[in-house]
Structures are given as C-alpha cells and as structure tokens.
Amino acid sequence: MQATEKSVQPFRVLYVEKDNRQVQAFQQAFDSQIEVVQVADIQAALAHLSDQQSVDLVLYNDTLDSKLFLNSLSLKRNLAHLPVVLLTNQHDIDLSVEPYHGHVIDAFPYNYSEDDLRVRLNYLIQKKEYSRSSHVTHKSASVRIPIGKRLFDIALSFFILLMISPLLLIVAILIKLDSKGPIFYSSKRVGTGFKIFDMYKFRTMRTDADQMLASMASKNMYNAAPVKKADDGLCDTCRLAGTECQRPLYMDQKQICEVLYMEEQNAKAMFSKFKEDPRVTRLGKFLRNTSIDELPQLFNILRGDMSFVGNRPLPLYEAEKLTTIGYARRFAAPAGLTGLWQVTKRGKAKVSDLERIQLDVLYAKTYSFKTDMLILLKTLKAVWQKENV
C-alpha cells in the first residue's frame, strides 16, 4: 500500500515569485497537498517549462509582467492549456480577454485567504486524480455542511427512501421495458467546496446522449445572440477606420480578428439546457416532468454528497467556467436536490447564465434552516409543473 502511494505523482505548482518569504508561507500552508517549485522570473519559468518538467499549475506574481509570460505560453503548443492562477492587486481584471483568456483560471490578491485558495487547489487536485482513477476522492475540508442541516438530511432521506422503495422498484422495471440501457445514470459532478462525486439519476435519455451533445450546441437555451460574421472578417472598429485588421490572431495557421473571436467566446453559454430535447426517451419525459428521475439522488443526500436544498451540482466542464472569485462563491453553499434557482426560474426559457449564478451566490450568502424550509415547500408545488426541458 505504501509503495502504491509513493508511485502517485504529487500535484506540482510552479511558483513564479522573487520574495522567498511569500513562497515559504505558501509552502507551509499547502505543503501536505502539493509540491512547490520556485523560480524568480519569466526566463526561469519558461526555461523550467521548456525542459519538459511536469507542472500542474502556475502561480504567478502579476508584478513580473504576466502579460509577457502568458503571451509566451500561447506560442508553445504543449503549454496551451496549462492553468495559471494570478496573484494581483488589480481589482477590475477581466480574465475573459487576451492574454488572460484560456490561461488564467483565477486571480487572487497578494494577501489571499488561505481557505479560498485551498478550495481552488482541492478542485484542481481532485480533477487530476480523476484523470488517473475513477474512484471518488476525499471531501473538501474547507467547506462543511452545518451539523443541523446534515442531521435533517440524513433523517429525511432515510425515511423517504424507506417509504418509496416500491415506487423505485416499479420505475426501474419500466425503464428496462421502455428502452435499452442501464436503469441508473451517474455523472461526475462538482458540489460543495468543489468536491467531485458521482451523482445518480434514473436514466431518462438514450445511451448515446453524450455523443449527441456537441451537435446540439446551437439549440442551447442559455445561448446568447449569435455573433454575425462580416464577409471581410473585420470588426466594426477596423471597418469604420478603413484599415486592415489591427488585432490579428492566428489559430490553426489562419488569421482571425481577435475582437470577433472574443465576441464568439463570450456568446458561448456556461450551462446547457434544451427545449424538446430529442435525447429524452418517452418514459424519460414523464420522469423529468414529475421529477421522479431525481429520486436516486436521495442516496447522494444520505451519503453526504448533497443536501435537500442547495445549489445544483454541476458537470466538470461547466464548473471549470466558474472558478473566478465572483462566480466560485456559489460552491460555498451545499450542493442540493433543489434550490433557490429551481423554485424561482424553473421552466422559464429567458433565464441568463448571470441570473442563475446570481441566484446561486445569493443562496450561498443567505441560506438558513428557515429559507431551506420555504424552498422545500415551494418545490412541492413546482415539481408537478409541465415543462419540456
């Protein structure tokens, strides 16, 4: 057993920082979770990465010309997806624009909170572990469900599972008769404190649903208005000025306008939801409209992966888009079977990504036993509404 643990590669952080005291403080706080390599400037950082040294994350001091470093990374194809966390005193930094976009996954002030940074590191560490193994990793220790809420979840979930066990058996038989495939569907989800776990549902889709997702991107209800491409490939600024493209960007050996590219990226949705989803089976449509497909998540609640009320746990590809400080606050709340967003916006087509995030963040800031009870009561009224999503 000890030999197996030693063979597992640690999570390696390249810390670009001149101040040895800052690096030592970081090492003392996170030494049990990661392995730290310190370099003092851009040249040393690029040299270390060019030597094919295995690095999982770069922690970069913004005073050392982060834009030059990020532009240098963009020129190296093997480092194109290397995640970077920026230490900066810029309060209005926009990570969706170049050169931050695609590299910087989060930004922290120099006097960062250790608990906040630990949440982000836990997520990245667990993501790496899942790439090697299908086993569920440890729970995040930095965000905990209140003891009263947890006791309520255990008692109620056990009681409900005991009472509805005949219904669960009937539904399982009907799913087998309705379409080919397994009875249950499990997917990796990100919940409380960026903890990754397997979330269970009754299967309501065809077995090739995941493969169909890419071809259905244009039907996503969360999509922003499509960006209209001009025939000349120029943005409005360059066209009005009567000049050639002033911000050329090269991708796959083809020149495109950086402004137009960023507009297309910003138009892409963070969440996925479809009206009249063709992947849903005949029985699956009924199970979804009545929320019966969610009942296996009572096992997740009993295990402690989720709570009855909280923010919906997200698939990994959605959670990765919400790691910046403002968005990540939603993960400070328990992952839930139902929540504030479900009872206020459920079934409404005109709900934006920002609205959903704001509701999740609001719940994370204000949740209590009283608000949970109000949401549960509203959920009982909402689960029977008819919606084709």
- Please name the helix (run of DSSP H) or strand (run of DSSP E) that holds residue 246, with its range, or none: none
Neighbouring-strand partners of residue 206: none
Q: Is 270 left (phi over 0), alpha (psi -120 to 50) or beta?
A: alpha
CA distance 196 to 97: 28
238-269 pLDDT tens trace: 666 666 665 555 444 456 666 665 566 555 54
User: What pLDDT sits at residue 385?
Assistant: 55
Question: In sequence order, what DSSP letters do the residues of 89-103 get, joined into one string?
Answer: --SS--TTSTTTTTT
Nearest-Å Rg of the Cα atoms of the chain is: 23
Q: What are the tokens at 180?
A: 């080919």
Residue of 81 and 159 predicted with greater confidence = 159
Half-sphere exposure of 157 (CA within 13 A, CB side): 24
Gap between the Cα atoms of 13 and 306, Å rounded? 30
Confidence at residue 253, expressed as pLDDT on a 0 to 100 scale: 43
Q: pLDDT digits over 261-293, tens only? A: 556 655 554 445 555 566 788 898 899 888 899
d(CA 8, CA 20): 28
pLDDT at 137: 42
Q: How far apart are CA 282 and CA 387, in angstroms?
A: 14
Residue type, 274: F
Distances from the Cα of 120 to the Cαs of 115, 197, 222, 332, in angstroms?
A: 9, 16, 26, 11
The Cβ of residue 133 has, within 10 Å, a number of other Cβ atoms equal to 9
Counting every residue, how long is the chain? Answer: 389
Q: What percent of the chain has pLDDT over 90?
A: 21
Residue linked to tokens 């606050």: 329
**Mind listing the domains of the chain with CATH numbers?**
2-132 (3.40.50.2300), 147-212+271-382 (no CATH), 225-267 (no CATH)
Report if pTM > 0.85: no
